C-alpha cells in the first residue's frame, strides 16, 4: 500500500501556541473575565461621559447644594450642587487616563532599560542593575511628591512623575527574561544559522518576553492609579476644577459627616476598579503561567 494514499484517520493535532493555551486557561477563569468586562464597560462609560450623562460636569446648582441620590441626580449632588454621577464619570476619565498613560511611561522606560541591560550584559548590565537597586532603596512616595512640586501640577507631568518611579520592577523582570533567553539553545541556534540581530530580537526574544510584560503591566495599572489617587487625596495631584476619583474621595472625606454619598460613591467606584484590575492581573498571570514577583 502506498503510504501517501492512506487516508488520515485522525486529524493532525493542531499546534498549541502559548497564546492559544493562555486564552483557554483565561476563559475558564470566570472571575477574571467578569473583571475584564466590568473594567471595559466602566472605561467606555467614562469615555462616553458627555453622551451618557444629561448634566455638565461643572454645572453648579448652588440653590440645591448637596442633595442625596434622587431620580434626577442618581448619585446625588456635591456641596456645589454638581451632579455626582457625571463627576464620577469625568473623574474616572482622569483616573483611568493616569492609569493608562503612567503605565505607558513606566512600560516604555522599564522595557527599554531592562532589555538593553539584559541584552548587552557584562559590566554595563552590572552597573545598570546596581542603579536600579539604589533607586529601589529610595522612598518613592517622597520623590513623586517632590516631582509634583518641581514639575508643577500639570496633568501630563503627573503621568510622567508617576511613570518615572514605577518602571523599576518592569526593568528587573525584562532584564531577567532577556538575560536568560540570550543563553537559551534556540537563540544560539538562530545565531548559528546566521540570523541578524534584529531578526533574533523581533522573532525570538520579544515574543518570549511578552507574557511577563503583559502580566506585570496589568498589575502596574492599579498601582499607578492608587498613587495618583493618593496624591490627589493629599491635594498634590489633579487640581480643581478637574477631578479624579482620588480628589473626589478627598472632598467626600472632608464632608462625610453631612453628605455620606459624596464619599461612598467615588470610594466604591475606585475600589471596584482596583478590585477588577487586580483580579484580571492575577488571572492573566495564571493563564500565562508567569511567576512574576508583585513587589
Going from the C-alpha of 182 to that of each of 75, 173, 177, 200, 210, the distances in angstroms are 55, 14, 9, 10, 15
Q: Is the Cβ–Cβ distance between 78 and 87 less than 8 Å?
A: yes
The cell numbers describing 193, all together, are 544559522
Binding of residue 147 to other proteins (CB under 8 A): yes
Report phi then psi at 167, rounded to 5.
Answer: -90, -10
Residues 96 and 42: their CA atoms lie apart, in Å, by 10
Binding of residue 13 to other proteins (CB under 8 A): no
Report phi then psi at 77, rounded to 5.
Answer: -125, 160
Q: How far is the CB of 181 from other proteins (least distance, A)?
A: 24
Binding of residue 37 to other proteins (CB under 8 A): no
- Return the range that interacts with other proteins (CB under 8 A); candidates 42-50, 90-98, 101-109, 248-256: 248-256
Binding of residue 54 to other proteins (CB under 8 A): no
* 150, 197, 202, 289: residue in contact with other proteins (rule CB under 8 A): 150
Going by C-alpha positions, the residue among 99, 175, 90, 94 that lies closest to residue 131 is 175
Residues 281 and 24: their CA atoms lie apart, in Å, by 16
83 forms beta bridges with 77
Q: How far is the CB of 71 from other proteins (least distance, A)?
A: 25
Q: Is the Cβ–Cβ distance between 266 and 245 less than 8 Å?
A: yes
* 93, 175, 250, 285: residue in contact with other proteins (rule CB under 8 A): 250
Site string for other proteins, 197-236 (x = CB under 8 A): -------------------------x---x--xx--xxxx
Specify the residue, 120 or 234, whose C-beta has the smaller distance to other proteins: 234
Using CB atoms within 10 A of its CB, is residue 242 exposed (0-12), middle (13-18) or buried (19+)? Answer: middle
- Return the range that interacts with other proteins (CB under 8 A); candidates 3-11, 20-28, 158-166, 274-282: 274-282
Going from the C-alpha of 98 to that of each of 20, 92, 146, the distances in angstroms are 31, 10, 18
Give CA 286 to chain center in angstroms. 17
Residues 5 and 25: their CA atoms lie apart, in Å, by 38
Specify the residue, 130 or 199, whose C-beta has the smaller distance to other proteins: 130
Binding of residue 290 to other proteins (CB under 8 A): no
Binding of residue 152 to other proteins (CB under 8 A): yes
Give CA 290 to chain center in angstroms. 17
Binding of residue 265 to other proteins (CB under 8 A): no
Going by C-alpha positions, the residue among 18, 159, 180, 195 that lies closest to residue 115 is 180
Specify the residue, 119 or 270, whose C-beta has the smaller distance to other proteins: 270
- Return the range that interacts with other proteins (CB under 8 A); candidates 1-9, 148-156, 197-205, 213-221: 148-156
Find the binding residues for other proteins in span 107-146 (CB under 8 A): 134, 137-139, 141-143, 145-146
DSSP 202: I
Q: How far is the CB of 144 from other proteins (least distance, A)?
A: 11
Contacts with other proteins by CB under 8 A lie at 134, 137-139, 141-143, 145-147, 149-150, 152, 222, 226, 229-230, 233-236, 246, 249-250, 252-253, 256-257, 260, 263-264, 267, 270-272, 274-275, 278-279, 295
Amino acid at each position: 500500500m502506498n503510504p501517501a494514499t492512506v487516508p488520515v484517520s485522525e486529524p493532525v493535532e493542531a499546534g498549541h501556541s502559548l497564546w492559544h493555551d493562555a486564552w483557554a486557561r483565561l476563559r475558564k477563569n470566570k472571575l477574571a473575565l467578569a473583571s475584564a468586562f466590568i473594567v471595559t464597560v466602566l472605561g467606555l462609560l467614562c469615555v462616553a461621559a458627555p453622551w451618557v450623562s444629561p448634566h455638565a460636569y461643572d454645572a453648579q446648582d448652588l440653590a440645591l447644594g448637596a442633595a442625596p441620590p434622587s431620580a434626577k441626580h442618581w448619585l446625588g449632588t456635591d456641596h456645589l450642587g454638581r451632579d455626582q454621577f457625571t463627576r464620577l464619570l469625568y473623574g474616572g476619565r482622569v483616573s483611568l487616563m493616569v492609569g493608562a498613560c503612567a503605565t505607558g511611561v513606566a512600560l516604555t522606560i522599564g522595557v527599554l532599560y531592562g532589555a538593553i541591560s539584559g541584552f548587552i550584559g557584562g559590566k554595563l548590565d552590572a552597573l545598570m542593575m546596581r542603579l536600579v537597586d539604589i533607586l529601589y532603596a529610595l522612598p518613592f512616595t517622597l520623590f513623586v511628591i517632590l516631582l509634583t512640586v518641581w514639575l508643577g501640577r500639570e496633568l501630563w507631568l503627573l503621568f510622567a512623575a508617576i511613570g518615572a518611579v514605577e518602571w523599576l520592577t518592569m526593568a528587573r523582570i525584562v532584564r531577567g527574561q532577556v538575560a536568560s533567553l540570550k543563553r537559551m539553545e534556540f537563540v544560539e541556534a538562530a545565531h548559528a544559522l546566521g540570523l541578524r540581530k534584529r531578526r533574533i530580537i523581533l522573532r525570538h526574544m520579544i515574543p518570549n518576553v511578552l507574557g511577563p510584560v503583559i502580566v506585570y503591566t496589568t498589575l502596574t495599572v492599579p498601582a499607578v492609579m492608587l498613587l495618583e489617587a493618593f496624591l490627589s487625596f493629599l491635594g498634590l495631584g489633579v487640581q480643581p476644577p478637574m477631578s479624579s476619583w482620588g480628589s473626589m474621595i478627598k472632598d467626600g472625606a472632608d464632608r462625610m459627616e453631612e453628605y455620606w454619598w459624596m464619599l461612598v460613591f467615588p470610594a466604591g467606584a475606585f475600589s471596584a476598579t482596583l478590585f477588577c484590575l487586580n483580579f484580571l492581573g492575577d488571572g492573566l498571570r495564571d493563564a500565562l503561567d508567569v511567576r512574576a514577583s508583585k513587589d
